[in-house]
């Protein structure tokens, strides 16, 4: 084995761990991220000939990152046709789009809008954050993903494809944070 390979493997592991930590800290609230900065490391000294595999291969994404990912997946489906009971990837109903987008982000949700309205944490309309699930009508019969600025991405109805809508034009019921 060439002499420089252990040093390269160690450097790659340090870079990967630093990038993962920076990503995680980037999604924490400001008060949690206010910890003092770690001192800069000038050199990396190899301590082992190989890097062991992590004990757990599963990585659980922070909630904010999962919500952001779900928004992006749903936005990627703008223009896809509405079809009642469809869960993607080419056509959707409202809860099918939300479930599909969150599944792609690594979060499992129930299948229907009414069942979704019971998971996560309730949030008031004035506390909405991008990625929150927003429910409409009484009883709950429609769901979309809040994207900010009073708008949701959703699969509206058989006359409209997946689109972004102003939620003030719909009969708001409640919202949940996943």
Mind telling me the catalytic residues?
Answer: 94, 142, 154
Determine which helix (DSSP H) or strand (DSSP E) holds 161, and give its type and residue range. strand 160-166
137: left (phi over 0), alpha (psi -120 to 50) or beta: left
11: left (phi over 0), alpha (psi -120 to 50) or beta: alpha
Task: Provide the angle, in degrees to the nearest 10, between the axes of the packed helices 94-104 and 63-75.
Answer: 130
Asked whether 138 and 173 are in contact (CB, 8 A), the reply is yes
Output phi, psi for 57, to 5 deg: -75, -15
Asked whether 71 and 153 are in contact (CB, 8 A), the reply is yes
């Amino acid at each position: 084995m060439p002499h420089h390979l252990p040093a390269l493997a160690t450097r790659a592991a340090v870079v990967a761990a630093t990038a993962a930590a920076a990503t995680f800290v980037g999604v924490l609230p400001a008060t949690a991220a206010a910890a003092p900065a770690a001192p800069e490391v000038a050199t990396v000294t190899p301590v082992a000939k190989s890097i062991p595999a992590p004990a757990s291969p599963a990585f659980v994404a922070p909630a904010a990152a999962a919500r952001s990912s779900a928004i992006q997946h749903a936005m990627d489906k703008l223009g896809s046709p509405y079809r009642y009971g469809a869960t993607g990837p080419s056509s959707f109903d409202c809860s099918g789009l939300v479930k599909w987008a969150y599944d792609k982000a690594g979060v499992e949700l129930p299948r229907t809008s009414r069942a979704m309205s019971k998971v996560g944490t309730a949030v008031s309309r004035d506390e909405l954050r991008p990625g929150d699930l927003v429910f409409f009508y009484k009883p709950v019969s429609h769901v979309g993903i809040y994207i900010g600025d009073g708008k949701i991405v959703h699969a509206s109805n058989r006359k409209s494809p997946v689109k972004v809508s102003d939620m003030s034009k719909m009969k708001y019921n409640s919202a949940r944070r996943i």
